[in-house]
């Protein structure tokens, strides 16, 4: 089944995933992490995108970012992907495809889901069993968002700024919320929305997006699913 076209919405945040081909490793050495981190920063500036959260995993990476020009995300991903493949193949003496294919992405309702997605991204190393806590993993935005460590990739979103009047208050509240694990229903919704190119938001947000882009933002419920508690909860109706 062909994937749906991506949402092109300057000013709206998106969750983006890029994986290695057949889930192979794309990052081995510290220099690999530094190279892709640096290219992400260069591309974000060049193509007018704000990165709010990220994690670099051994075989994939996640970004939470807001583009301010049409196709800003597409150009950013193309730029990073092209330069990293050249670097990686040369450094590791290999040839052939590195990436799984085109990146996956979902449009996000910032008021209700942006911080949840940030926590989802930064807790990825914990779910993968690499570390015991997000603070123990050096290649994510948790250090910036929760601990105040300098990270030139990160530009706080207005929803993050609303967490408190001071930087210290914002960090403390962010860390406290991050300490509460996302439930399985929310994990599944974030994954499904990203992998299947549906919007991640409540009914009003999705209706707004459908009106602006003239395409469905959510899958049609199947049969009795429309009346089920599980469906209504996942759609933000409960």
Say whether pLDDT at 230 is over 80.
no
Residue ranges per structural domain of the chain: 14-182
Q: Does domain 14-182 have CATH number 3.30.70.1290?
A: yes
Residues recorded for the chain: 238
Phi, psi of 51 (to 5 degrees): -95, 125
Confidence tier at 227 by pLDDT (50, 70, 90): very low
pLDDT of residue 3: 61
Tens digits of per-residue pLDDT, 70-113?
999 999 999 999 999 999 999 998 888 899 988 999 999 999 99
Q: Are the C-beta atoms of 56 and 121 separated by less than 8 Å?
A: no
The average pLDDT across 199-213 equals 90
Mean pLDDT of the chain: 91
pLDDT of residue 119: 98
Which helix (H) or strand (E) is 54 found in, with range?
strand 49-57
**169's tokens:** 């208050």
The average pLDDT across 43-69 equals 98
pLDDT of residue 226: 47
Strand partners, 60: 19, 57
Rounded CA-CA distance 68/87 in Å is 28
The average pLDDT across 186-206 equals 92
- Give residue 218's region: left, alpha or beta (phi > 0; psi -120 to 50): beta
- What are the percentages of helix, strand and coil residues in the chain, rounded to 5? 50, 15, 35
pLDDT of residue 101: 86
Is residue 9 classed as helix, strand or coil in its secondary structure? coil
């Amino acid at each position: 089944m062909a994937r749906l076209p991506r949402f092109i919405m300057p000013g709206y945040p998106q969750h983006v995933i890029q994986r290695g081909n057949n889930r192979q490793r794309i990052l081995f050495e510290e220099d690999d992490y530094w190279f892709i981190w640096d290219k992400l920063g260069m591309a974000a500036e060049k193509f007018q995108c704000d990165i709010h959260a990220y994690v670099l995993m051994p075989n994939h990476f996640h970004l939470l970012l807001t583009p301010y020009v049409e196709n800003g995300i597409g150009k950013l991903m193309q730029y990073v992907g092209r330069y990293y493949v050249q670097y990686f193949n040369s450094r590791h003496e290999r040839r052939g495809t590195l990436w799984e294919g085109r990146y996956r992405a979902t449009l996000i309702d910032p008021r209700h889901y942006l911080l949840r997605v940030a926590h989802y991204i930064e807790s990825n190393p914990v779910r993968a069993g690499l570390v015991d806590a997000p603070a123990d993993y050096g290649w994510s935005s948790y250090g910036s968002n929760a601990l105040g460590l300098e990270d030139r990739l990160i530009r706080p979103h207005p929803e993050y700024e609303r967490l408190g009047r001071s930087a210290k208050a914002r960090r403390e509240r962010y860390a406290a919320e991050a300490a509460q694990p996302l439930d399985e229903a929310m994990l599944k919704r974030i994954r499904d929305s990203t992998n299947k190119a549906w919007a991640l938001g409540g009914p009003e947000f999705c209706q707004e997006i459908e009106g602006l882009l003239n395409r469905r933002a959510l899958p049609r419920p199947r049969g009795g699913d429309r009346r089920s508690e599980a469906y209504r909860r996942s759609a933000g109706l409960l």
